[in-house]
Structure formats: structure tokens, C-alpha cells
Amino acid sequence: MSLPLPLDGLSAIVTGAGRGLGRAEALELARLGAAVVVNDYGQPGRDGSGEASAAPAEEVAAEIRAAGGRAVAHLGDVSDHEQARELVESAISAHGRLDILVNNAGILRDRMVFSMTEEEWDSVIRVHLKGHFNTTHFAAAHWRARSKATGGPVYGRIVNTSSEAFLAGSAGQPNYAAAKGGIVGLTTSTALALAKYGVTANAICPRARTRMTEDVFAGFQEPADGTLDPLAPEHVSPLVGYLASPAAAGVNGQLLVVHGGMVAVVERPRVAAQFDAAKETFTFAELDGLLTPYYADRPPNETFAAAEVLGLKRL
């Protein structure tokens, strides 16, 4: 007799699941037993350009079904509040409930901050940060209603997608870095708000070769010997499967970096130094006498020393 799979009987949504990381995550959740709603807006351009198409989501859903899993496709723009509501409702309608939400959908519109247009800023914030909020909002409302109806905690898992661009900076991506930092704030707030209902929320910073990062990793060739690419999305998806599972019930409000067979748990920022005013408040001269020598004695960018220890590089 075969053992039950970790996600047997559970229902999941994965956004941006037509390609790259989202596809690998949807396949992994299905392999672990979940019924999956494969969401993707299907635009061909990584900047969100081109006509929307159901084909990418349909192909991944068909791949899951061909392997013996359960999946339906959903064409929808998660940055649109109403379409996000319809996505969550489609999962409940198709599978009777929603248990897992993996937010992955995103676009890129890179430019230096002094050259970036308002539209380039707004579009990336909208898809990444608002898109994460929209789906989280409707999933959270569903779990809260279920908890109130049953009088106790329910099963709920949220896995959000941040980036090392937030951790270590990315000069040509002020919109992307800001959105990914906002996603971490959204995740920790959501984790606190939903814990009493039995729901966890965590974020990952994945490093993988996808359409979004093809320029970043252009100089890193895939192995010629047929071994798994260290930058393959398949290195990331097992962590998503774990965070979505009952085994991760005690993991909440966390940020984890993952790539190439490595998972790093990132601490929340800690105070590096504290200075107290000699009197009721600081004077300019006092601050100059304290802070100027403090920073003069520290190496540049020491704020991100922890990231350097982990071997993290800017994305």
C-alpha cells in the first residue's frame, strides 16, 4: 500500500505558473498530491507586453493531468482586483476549497531611477505587490470565513515570492526591488494577522534561470554533461512544496533564500549600533561627532554583510 502524499486532499493556486518558477512550483505541488489551479496571464513579453493567452497555463495543467494529477488552468491578471477574486473563487469551485496560495506572477521593466517613467514604476508595483495583495486578500477572507464557520483553525498556506534584489540592492531595478521589499512586509503582516486562523505566510527569494533572469545569468552556461542546472527552477520548487505542507506548520513569517541545493534563513534586521543624546535631544554637532566617525570606520555596504556571507549576489 502506497503512503499518502504530503498534500493529498489539498487545493492550491500558483500564479504566473505558465513558465519558469511558477511552472516548476505547480508541477511540484501536484506531484505532492495537491489539486492545482494553474494561473497565468500568458503575455509573451517579460515586461507584460503582448496579447494575453491561455496557452501557457493550459499546457502546464495538461502536463499535470498527463502525469496523473489534478489541475485546471486559469487565464487572469492578478493585478486586477476582480480577476484575483475570480481566481480564488475558481479554486473553491473546482476543488471545493482553497488551502495553498503561491504568489509568483511578475514582470520586469528595468531602468535606472533617474530614467524610469511613472508608468514603468507603477506597472511593476502593480503586478508584483498589488498582485500579491489581491490574491492574499481573497484567500485570507476565505480562510477567515471557514474558521468562523467551524469555530477553530483551518488549513492555509501562503508562499510569496520576494527577491535578492530587495536584500542586496539592484541599481537598475528600483521598481522591482521596492516591490519585492513590499512583499516581505506584506508577508510578515499577513503572517501575524492570520496565525490565529491556522494560516501561515512565508516568502522566498529564489535564484533561478527563467525568462525574468535570462540577462542576469547570460554568462552562466547550463551544464553540458546533462546534470541538473544549478540555476534550474527545480531547485526552488521543493522548498515551496515544503512550506505548503503540514510539516511546515511551525514556519510562519519567515524569509528564505533558495537556489542550487541551498536554503538560507534570513534574519530580520537587527540594531547594529545605538547612540543616545547627551541632553533632551540631539544637536547637529553631536550627531556629526557620533555618526560621522562611526560610518568612516565601517567598510562600504556593511549593512549587507550578512548577504555577502551567504554568497548572495545582486539580481
Delimit the domains of the chain by residue range: 9-264
Packing angle between helix 20-31 and helix 55-66, nearest 10 degrees?
Answer: 30
Structure-block grid coordinates of residue 300: 562600504
Could you give phi then psi for residue 285, rounded to 5 degrees? -60, -40
CB 249 within 8 A of CB 201: no
pLDDT digits (tens, 9 = 90+) for 229-242: 677 788 999 999 99
Packing angle between helix 131-150 and helix 81-95, nearest 10 degrees?
Answer: 40
Choose, from 176, 197, 242, 245, the residue flagged as catalytic: 176
pLDDT digits (tens, 9 = 90+) for 239-264: 999 999 999 999 999 999 998 889 99
Strand 71-74, strand 35-39: pairing: parallel
Choose, from 41, 147, 170, 180, the residue flagged as catalytic: 180
pLDDT digits (tens, 9 = 90+) for 40-69: 997 665 566 677 688 999 999 999 999 999
What is the average pLDDT across 286-290? 97
What is the average pLDDT across 157-173? 90
Place of cell 489581491: 134
Residue 269: HSE in the Cβ half-sphere, 13 Å Cα cutoff:
12
**Residue 300: is its pLDDT beyond 70?**
no
Would you place residue 146 in the very low, low, confident or very high pLDDT band (cuts 50, 70, 90)?
Answer: very high
Domain 9-264 has CATH 3.40.50.720: yes
Give the pLDDT score at 309.
38
Choose, from 11, 90, 147, 163, the residue flagged as catalytic: 163
Mark whether 180 is an active-site residue.
yes
Q: Mention every residue, 6+ apart, whose C-beta is less than 8 A from residue 120.
A: 109, 111, 175
Would you place residue 80 in the very low, low, confident or very high pLDDT band (cuts 50, 70, 90)?
Answer: very high
Mark whether 176 is an active-site residue.
yes
DSSP string, 174-241: HHHHHHHHHHHHHHHHHHHHHGGGTEEEEEEEE---SGGGTTTTTTSPPPTTSPPPTT-GGGTHHHHH
Strand partners, 54: none
Could you give phi then psi for residue 158, rounded to 5 degrees? -120, 130
